[in-house]
Amino acid sequence: MDQTANQAPVPAQDLNQVLKAQTEAYLEHGIPSLEQRLANLNKLLNILKTNQSAITEAISKDFGHRPFQETLLAELYLCIDGIKYARKRLKQWMRPQKRVVSLWLLGAQNTVIPQPLGVVGIIVPWNYPLFLCVSPLVGALAAGNRCMIKMAANSSHLSELLQRLFAKHFAANMLTIVEGAKGSNFAALAFDHLVFTGSSHTGRQVMRAAADNLTPVTLELGGKSPTIIAPDYSIAKAAKRLLFSKYLNAGQTCVAPDYLFVPAGQVEEFVAVAKTIVSARYPDIEHQDYTSIINDRAYMRLKSILADALEQGAIATTLVPSSVANDVTRKFPPTLLTGVTGTMRVLQEEIFGPILPIMTYQHIDQVLDYINSQDRPLALYLFSDDKTLQTKVINKTRSGGVCLNDTTIHVGQHDMPFGGVGESGMGQYHGEEGFMAMSKLRPIFRQAHTSALSLMYPPYGKTFDTIIKLMLRL
């Protein structure tokens, strides 16, 4: 687990003091009203709307370069839209839910009340640092919780900015970014819920640390998301859509297409189309619209993965003419790999960069067998208008989410839950599911003025025998 760059780590005892202050404030002030929760969401919304330039600039600095348009589209817009969505529906989400009462408890009532858990911890990755901070935060604040946030080491500029902005509008015992927090210390705090987004390796460490306090966790862990182009679908149309998602943020996206299946005999067509599409979008990899790899370590890892594939016989096609990886700007060219095999790292590790391996198939069952032999991915993508085929792929595979005839867009749908399964994570959030994940659905049973159960009290006799026989028949 990392810690904030260029800062001494915050001692564990200091983190405990912050948590203690938030816990005591929660107990003192009780469950916040609808008006208080809306006020918190409105504060967050105002911070985002009035600091767009500062936010996009901070994120670009953290990457070395990221176009502000990508931050506006993939982060700021989704955050703002998510807050508005939650704000509009919060009253409905908070309503007590009436539940069915057992037939023999005449006159009694069952109610489920969503109540805040208390203090929620959020560990944020560097690849979409604003969205993956704000998205779970919206669910937590809507549910009435207080929050502590740990940003990634590679997001130092954004972390410093958000810490300053949050401190200006929120009390520290309501919401705070803990700068310089050591990840292992943060995950070990006795939160009422912990949200982590990152690698499966670190996710295991987080879960072990949380287990000591029996802290429930939501883990979003990524993985190798497969993409399939079916024989009935236009290669050109599929390429236009999936290549946008693949090369957005230079492929540094947890739900980016990680490998591609195309029908046998159509690889050359896909490669030719991809060259035309990508070279038009990015005339040069030093172009302002193309994002840098986050740091030297990640950049060198991509070079190593590519070298490993080439040494084992894969063929690389660079989609931007005359472009080569730039060690200074950490710009890595959009690259297709054909002739890949399972012994190559590119098919064993989550790529998290602008390399796309391509495999072919004769029959869809070959594809499904391969997908099912791998860890369950965070997302699965199918390009096909064949409803029967769509149903087969959905029913015969398991993944966190599915997107038909496009890629990654499902993540931005606020009325659908987002989360992984198996190796790609556990739990889910966004929208109402996020509200519920950050709430305790507290069951309340209200007995009637006269309890029907009194007829069942000892000493047992004929009345009991008659009633229990009737109950067992119903």
Tokens of 51: 């600091």
The residue written with tokens 């509200």 in the block is 435
Task: Please check whether residue 233 is in contact with residue 442, taking contact to mean a CB–CB distance below 8 angstroms.
Answer: no
Residues catalogued as catalytic: 220, 254
Distances (CA, A) of 232 to 235, 269, 348, 389: 9, 15, 29, 10
Q: Residue 67 carries which side chain, given as an amino acid letter?
A: P
- Mention every residue, 6+ apart, whose C-beta is less than 8 A from residue 60: 66, 67, 68, 71
Task: Please check whether residue 281 is in contact with residue 313, taking contact to mean a CB–CB distance below 8 angstroms.
Answer: no
Task: Please check whether residue 100 is in contact with residue 47, taking contact to mean a CB–CB distance below 8 angstroms.
Answer: no
C-alpha Rg value of the chain to the nearest Å: 26
- Mention every residue, 6+ apart, whose C-beta is less than 8 A from residue 446: 108, 109, 110, 111
The full DSSP string for 286-329 is TSTTSPPPSSHHHHHHHHHHHHHHHHTT-EEEESSTT---BTTT
Tokens of 192: 């009422």
Dihedral sign from CA coordinates of 311, 317, 321, 324: negative
Q: Residue 64 carries which side chain, given as an amino acid letter?
A: G
Task: Please check whether residue 218 is in contact with residue 427, taking contact to mean a CB–CB distance below 8 angstroms.
Answer: yes
Q: What's the CA angle centered on 304, arms 303 and 309, to 5 degrees?
A: 100
Nearest to 132 by CA among 213, 197, 56, 71: 197
Task: Please check whether residue 366 is in contact with residue 329, taking contact to mean a CB–CB distance below 8 angstroms.
Answer: no
Nearest to 253 by CA among 287, 279, 227, 218: 227
